Structure 1
Amino acid sequence: MTATVNEASDLTVGEPSRIASRRLIGVDVARGIALIGLVAIHILPSWNETTGEASVSWILFSGHSAALFALLAGVGLGLGTGGNTAHRGRRMTAGRLALAVRAVLVGLAGLAVATVMPVENPPAYGILLYYAVFFLLSIPFLHLSVKALCLWATGFAVLSPVLMQQFQDLLPEMASYNPTFTDVVTEPVGLLSQLLVTGVYPALPYMTYMLIGLAVGRLDLHSGDAAPRLLAAGVTLAAGAKLTSALLLYGAGGYDRLLASPGMDEHTLWEVLVWGPEVLPNDTVWWLAISTPHTNTPLAIMFSLGVGLAVLGACLLIPRKAELVLAPLAAMGSMTFTLYTVHLLVLALQVHYDLPALWFILHLLAAAIFALAWRKAFGQGPLERIVSTSAKGARTLVMRTPTPATAQG
């Protein structure tokens, strides 16, 4: 990768797009992979109708794509607020305000998209509104060191699942699968609970990915050993999570404890271990030993985080000769806000159920062609430009506001 930190810092949602040679191409490629994963989960079957086993797309992408998106969002925040030398003083204040503006606009987009989604059995659970909350919660952490960020991330990974399991019965039910403007007014408490704890992408455990991503963005990603270390760390973390889960379940008796849970039999437990429960049961702490995607247990978080770090590390190792081949994927990754939003709007038409494989291919082809053409003609994606312009205005407002000493002459 040839970009400098300052040149490649605009990698958050809506930040200015740079020409390929001036970007961290690997980050765009990784983001493109995350987008493909979400599209696959939304369109392709989650199980094999003949065998009943989980499908390849489910095994590869379920939970991991969303985690990778959050991880890369954190990387973008780190790069966009100074890279390995975090901004200080007024520049950091300006960055915080810009991020707040960005969060509001992304959240409004998520609410708007939800208004066209079917209320019952929606074709997808949008992540945009959750994403906005991730951004808001990240604001107080922008100035921290890599070590402090990792410590906070560990705290979120360990404590959030415990709190979610123990207090779920005390919290209101989800406002809706895809919250709308109406839910903001009529069910504010339920919506807040959903966004933080009970929803599909609850912010408390997902802050682990955001903060680790922010820590990665504080590293020198252009050094020769950064990418191999991320790859190695990711593989180690993912393998360690799966091994620990297996030891707890099948070596320490956790499986039998779970099997003894009320209403549980071997088939039901098998389904839970493959696809996860709708809500993580709280009848025993042994549920925290599973690593099934989307369960948001400590080990599930560790596994998805490890996968995300490994993917990012591998993408940062992409040689220059391969960048042309991966240009469509990188272009998609440079405007995921636009492409993901359009993807959800198309899904809302509900015309993809009979031919999922065909619609999956059509979604990806359309996204790649549009991204390449738009990027060549205009640079930033359309929604990215709107958000970037607004955030830049907020940043400029802070930077140009005179300090009290200046105002007094």
Structure 2
Amino acid sequence: MAGVDLARGLAVIGVFAAHLAVISPLEWGDPGTWSGLVEGRSAVLFAMLAGVSLGIVSVAAERRRLAGAVSASAPLFGLRAQLLLRGVLLWLLGIWLDDLEVPVYVILPAYGALFVLAIPFTRLAPRALFALSAALALGAPFAVQWIDGAVARSDDPLAVEESLRLIAWNYPLPLWLAFLLCGMAAGALLMRSRRYAWPLLGAGVLLAALGYGVVGSIARAAEAAEARAFSDGSGAWWVTALSDAPHGSGVGEALGSGGFALAVTGAAVLLCLTPLRWIALPLRAVGSMPLTAYVVHIGIWAVWIAVETARDPGLDPSAGFRALEPFWPTTAGVIAGCTLWALTVGQGPLEWLLGAITKAPARWNRR
């Protein structure tokens, strides 16, 4: 649906800004820092929308099964097999992009792993998916912080971190599965009626207020108290688990950024129920081919690093590239290219390739 494409387009542009622009830390009381909204939240929106898409195709497969259009077992078995294959391919692509040594945490390995983890949940009702998502959002941050602390105390933390990179621990899967499951529930509801966009928008706003305004405030107060009590910077690990900082993997971030992503999704769907969806066509085009857009911007950065470090081995690949102010030309080029491709060809090139490789399981007629 057009609204989901619009939300994905916003997520992609947000990721571009977080990677390519100089962003000030967000302070809600200072409008000059509101560009900091893209930090962390764009990636969460990206992950939640993967769940929305998965929820949509899961409901569609179930409807085909119930309608008797295909064998009773084929749609869901085919969907599970497709998810497994798609997840493995995205993981491999993400690891390859990560090895290009672009100075960002590539999200695709986590994306691929989440698709695989989602397989057991494709038949759950939205209520169960929301409940699981809430449980993970409230509980997983404590497990993540405990694991991170154990890694820091290990004999060779760098080696352990390299191993964790292979399972995309930069986006801790126990927590990020919460975003995917929430998106699956939202996608299933939107397949029932677009009117569910209103409660999704309202719930998202309430969760964001709870995460940032309540839990985040408690976390900051606790951190200040810890700083006064422990001058060496040590303190209780569970305090960090409440944080609302971007990529902090705290309860505040889980509720706040998760709510933000849910609200953006609902708002985008509502916007595209109006004629404004045609004004949003360029962003919708980007959102219809997010994998292509994401890989293109990583590729541009990697080529620049290869060329410039050959000239100057001491170059900082992060600060040096951002000094060129690449966000606007890259974003304008990607929007123009995706719009032209969508209008003349249709499906994005990498999306078409991934679909062509993974379409065979849809015809398998067994569980």
TM-score, normalised on structure 2?
Answer: 0.83
Counterpart position of 1:82: 59
Counterpart position of 2:260: 307
Q: 1:356 to 1:31 in 2, by over 3 A?
A: farther
Q: Distance in 1 between matches of 2:10 and 2:332?
A: 14
Q: 1:298 aligns with which of 241, 251, 254?
A: 251
Residue 345 (structure 2) pairs with residue 378 (structure 1): yes
Which stretch of the first structure deviates more once superposed, 76-85 or 65-74?
76-85
AA partner of residue 135 (structure 1): F
Q: Distance in 2 between matches of 1:389 and 1:95?
A: 14
Q: 2:179 aligns with which of 209, 221, 234?
A: 209
Q: Distance in 1 between matches of 2:157 and 2:51?
A: 26
Q: 1:307 to 1:43 in 2, by over 3 A?
A: same
Residue 293 (structure 2) pairs with residue 331 (structure 1): no
Q: 2:361 aligns with which of 382, 394, 406?
A: 394
What are the Cα deviations for residues 37-92 of structure 1, in whole angstroms up to 9, with x where unaligned? Answer: 110010111338xxxx9973652111100100110000110111125957673321
Counterpart position of 1:47: 24
Counterpart position of 2:92: 108
* Structure 2: runs of 5 or more not aligned: 66-71, 309-318
Report if the CA contact (8 A) 1:83-1:220 is conserved: no
Q: Distance in 1 between matches of 2:216 and 2:97?
A: 40
Q: 1:360 to 1:174 in 2, by over 3 A?
A: farther
AA partner of residue 119 (structure 2): I
Q: What SS does the corresponding residue of 1:201 show, helix, strand or coil? A: coil
Residue 201 (structure 2) pairs with residue 234 (structure 1): no
Report if the CA contact (8 A) 2:208-2:256 is conserved: yes
Residue 77 (structure 2) pairs with residue 93 (structure 1): yes
Counterpart position of 2:239: 286
Q: Distance in 1 between matches of 2:325 and 2:224?
A: 40
AA partner of residue 346 (structure 2): G
Report the Cα offset of residue 262 of structure 1. Answer: 4.6
Q: 1:261 to 1:211 in 2, by over 3 A?
A: farther
Structure 1 residue runs of 4+, over 6 Å off?
172-175
| Number of residue pairs the alignment of both structures matches | 339
Higher helix share: 2
Q: What SS does the corresponding residue of 2:247 show, helix, strand or coil? A: coil
Report if the CA contact (8 A) 1:232-1:310 is conserved: yes
Report the Cα offset of residue 194 of structure 1. Answer: 3.8
Report if the CA contact (8 A) 1:40-1:57 is conserved: no
What are the Cα deviations for residues 123-181 of structure 1, in whole angstroms up to 9, with x where unaligned? Answer: 32211111111111111111111121112112221221111222334346777xxxxxx
Counterpart position of 2:276: 322
Report if the CA contact (8 A) 2:20-2:325 is conserved: no
1:162-177 superposed matches below 5 A: 162-171=142-151
Report if the CA contact (8 A) 2:74-2:362 is conserved: no
Counterpart position of 1:362: 329
Q: 2:40 aligns with which of 63, 72, 77?
A: 63
Q: Distance in 1 between matches of 2:190 and 2:322?
A: 45
RMSD between superposed Cα atoms in Å: 2.8
1:230-269 superposed matches below 5 A: 230-245=200-215, 248-249=218-219, 255-264=224-233
AA partner of residue 324 (structure 1): W
Q: What SS does the corresponding residue of 2:16 show, helix, strand or coil? A: helix
AA partner of residue 230 (structure 1): L
Q: State the percentage of identical aligned residues.
A: 29
